[in-house]
Chain A
Amino acid sequence: MSTDEIVQRVSLIVGAGQVGAPTGRAADAVKILSKPGDAAELAEVVRACETDRIALAPLGAARTLSQIRSLPVALGVSLGRLARVVAYEPKDLTITVEAGLSVGELNRALAPARQRLPVDPCDPDATTVGALIAASHAGPLRLSEGTTRDLLIGIRYVGHQGHSVHGGGRVVKNVAGYDLMKVLGGSFGTLGIITEATFKVRPLPEQYAMTRLSFDRAEKLFAAARELHDSLPLAHLEGLSSAAAYACGSPARFLLVAGISGSSSEVASLRDATARAAPGAVFVERGDALHAYARLRDFDASAWALTAQIAVAPAQLSSILAATDAQYLAHMGCGVATLFLPEPPADGRITIDGWRQAARRAGGYLRILHAHRSFRGSVEFFDMPNDGALKLMRRLKAAFDPAGVFNPGCFVGGI
């Protein structure tokens, strides 16, 4: 089907004004952009795509999509018109929102009750709730608060045949039925398009402060990180190599950033304990700490030529970081790090294979977050699961997307 024909077809459903050519980064991700007004229109779009075998993908993850696809998908679906807070009861500490709402907006809705969704992806105002879930974004707070996986308690999505499916619910504890939240989470739009989500939320801590420690050698950074992680309940603990440290406003070769939060007496106690455990620690407090934290959280690794996320058993992270020539921003307590190279490597595939093997040896895996256009088409973005797991994943894709239209070909093993 030609681009014009698709535009015509989809215009009949969502209205001519809601279909058109994408601009900016979206243009890398999709050929045509559509904006359904509600879930019912989206369902019709999905049915039409299945009938005419048009590949479609949610655009909330456009940033991610444009970075991992070598070719744009035919039809992008923006959920920008599905951006309401559906239900929020502060005393229940749960919130239900539409998937097009940004994480920043979500947190602003929670702020009057001094609550937050502590997932903290990079640039929360540019990250929609749908993208947060589908691309499985997480920030520094994963050390103390977990990830989207831990906080998502209900989901609604439009699946094949345009069915609106929901799993979970609006209560913090619920094991009725199978956990569709887990399956849709991190699925990169390949199983359906998320339209609504319910999260557990948390109270905002009374106070937050940041500790910075500079080092001339990576080994010292790793030793200090181990000491702090072993002795204190930290909000976050990040290890940064020079380029990441510079981007976060600190000219250090290696920088360790630890967050402490809680009531004023807890923060005072943690401050003393941190000073004892890490002599030379520099403290940043109140507004300055929040500002510094935002710079750390919003460090945008996609500006670099090659960016990857590595995830291993936590104690193995230091040896991997020590052995690489890459720059990094590492969640030291979690075994998860972002590796990046400022310039395209001579052979991207060799570089990635090296990183991937190191991750596997440490019991983990590697996922490419961004690759320069020049070699995007030649690299595997996702690590390959073992054969047994991959077989189940293919079955899952076939069951949830029998027509093969949801963001095809971009996930593990070409799913």
Chain B
Amino acid sequence: MNDKMLMRGSHVIGEAAVRAGCRFYAGYPITPQNELTEYMAGAMARLEDGTFIQAESELAAVNMVIGAAMAGARAMTSSSSPGVSLKQEGISYLAAQELPAVIVNTMRGGPGLGNIAPSQGDYFQATRGGGHGDYRTIVLAPASGQELADITRKAFDYADTYRTPVMILGDGMIGQMMEPVVFPEPLDLKKLPPKPWILDGAKGRPSRIIRSLLLDVSVEEDQNWKLVRKYEQITREIPAAEKYLTDDARLVVVAYGTAARIAKGAIKRMRDIGLKVGLLRPITLWPFPNRILVEMSRWVRHFLVYEMSTGQMVEDVRLGLEGRSQVHFYGRPGGVVSTPEELSKVINTLYHRQNLQEE
């Protein structure tokens, strides 16, 4: 079944998760991600060894995922912003207990109950931990149907490889958009690398403990440094970004997910009228693709960060560049999605104000 299919983004994640060997899903309804929960209900019911649970809360869902991960399953939960706030307790424990799991956040307008329109207001929460303690979460930001399929597979692989929670950060637009997609072949579960740490009863071996309580401060410190070394390895191994028309660009827009789609439209318009503008689209938000940014700063003096928020990723761009180039920001929060025309005007104005046009 490798034909091209036209599918809604949320369904793509679900189908890709099943093909990646996800056999446990627990979730709680919240718009705009119900399509994923519903898809998993159907998909797990069709599998002999699949489990779907509509949990009583997001807290319960993520804790069920903790149990499933301890027992060795590829496990996933999903939600939207207010629900992901509740999942943060579990995400902190997953990181501390070094358990693999995939968490999908289909962001909506906030803070508070906000609205159900696409937004990027959860960037800080996703990339800065969100839960308590000294940990990082791998955060992947897909921008198209095909990428959703590919990234979901990767999310499960990263989770297992590094024994850490992985978040797929999308929004209502990406979740609802129908696009053609080709799925990877389903993984043979038997061929996945063994997990010699899981809890499945101590038959023929010493009993095991999965925990995060380390009362001795020096033991907790050692564990924290061990996690840091793992995070450093992840930072070396997985940063990814898409570059679009950046080779000769004088101004590069930095945007992810839905915002990057809009930015691409604006950049095409700008190119049509002769402005040398390009796009840098981070695909991993943590680890942030700093190296690519720094490389680009050799010829790009101006970056314009565009977000569907009041400015969150812009801080990572500034940190990454460490003053090498100028960083400008444009964003609209609350679930407002800018049009490419609107963004074109912003780019055009900035381009001319900074005298970037050809002499």
* A and B part of one assembly: no
Q: Which residues of A contact B (CB under 8 A)?
A: none
Q: Which residues of B contact A (CB under 8 A)?
A: none
